[in-house]
Chain A
């Protein structure tokens, strides 16, 4: 059974703290993604990675960074958490497909982050 595991289901952090969200996949996928989910906005891509140590900005990268030191692990970092980063964060992975792009992404359970 394929699995994407996010280290925390719920997190409460204070404004200004540095926050790490961890994601691990066991499917040997090349691609990994971090999305942010907000009511009425759907899922918005923050960052993605297609290989170890490689990363690309998504649509809303401001205030975030990522790290991918190993193929199976992709971390999202909030350098200085702010209240407008209170949200649900979803990690996903998918295999590299060349030009095909027809395989779905697999999602973790999500981390609900509250910044107070």
Chain B
């Protein structure tokens, strides 16, 4: 069965510092991978997705993620944190060929705090 592990439920960085949020997946075949962001009292918004094209994926708001099959990882990075990046981030996975349902399996989430 597929699963997603996000290392670190809370991450705190200074404004301007590198953001690194970790995501590892468990799947018997290379999955499709997604990062979503949730701002306070909001729904989830897609940041970026990996769908077996380029392994380095660029998303909105300066975020990017790299798919590494050998490490079964899809870590999210941003070179310079901004106060507005404070939110909860979720990694999610779905399997190719799983049918048209596209059920997403989510990690537990990482709450990012950005301090001045």
| A residues apposed to B, CB below 8 Å | 4, 9, 30-31, 33, 35, 40-45, 48, 50, 56, 58, 90, 92, 94, 96-105, 107-110
- Given contacts A43-B90, A97-B100, A102-B96, is CB(A90)–CB(B44) below 8 Å? yes
- Given contacts A99-B96, A102-B49, is CB(A41)–CB(B108) below 8 Å? yes
A56 contacts across to B, CB distance below 8 A: 101
Say whether B94 faces chain A, with CB atoms less than 8 Å apart.
Answer: yes
Contacting A at CB under 8 A, from B67-116, are: 90, 92, 94-109
How many residue pairs bridge A and B at CB < 8 Å? 83
Smallest Cβ-Cβ distance to A41: which chain B residue: B108
Complexed CA–CA distance, A45 and B6 (Å): 18
A42 contacts across to B, CB distance below 8 A: 6, 90, 106-109
Is there contact, CB below 8 Å, between A45 and B103?
A: yes
Binary flags per residue of B28-48, CB closer than 8 Å to A gives 1, else 0: 000010101000011111100
Which residue of the partner chain, among A9, A43, A101, A108, contacts B102 with CB atoms under 8 Å? A101
- Contacts A31-B101, A56-B101, A104-B46 aside, 14 further interface pairs with beta carbons under 8 A come to A35-B106, A42-B106, A42-B109, A50-B100, A50-B101, A92-B104, A94-B102, A99-B96, A99-B98, A99-B99, A101-B99, A103-B102, A107-B36, A107-B43
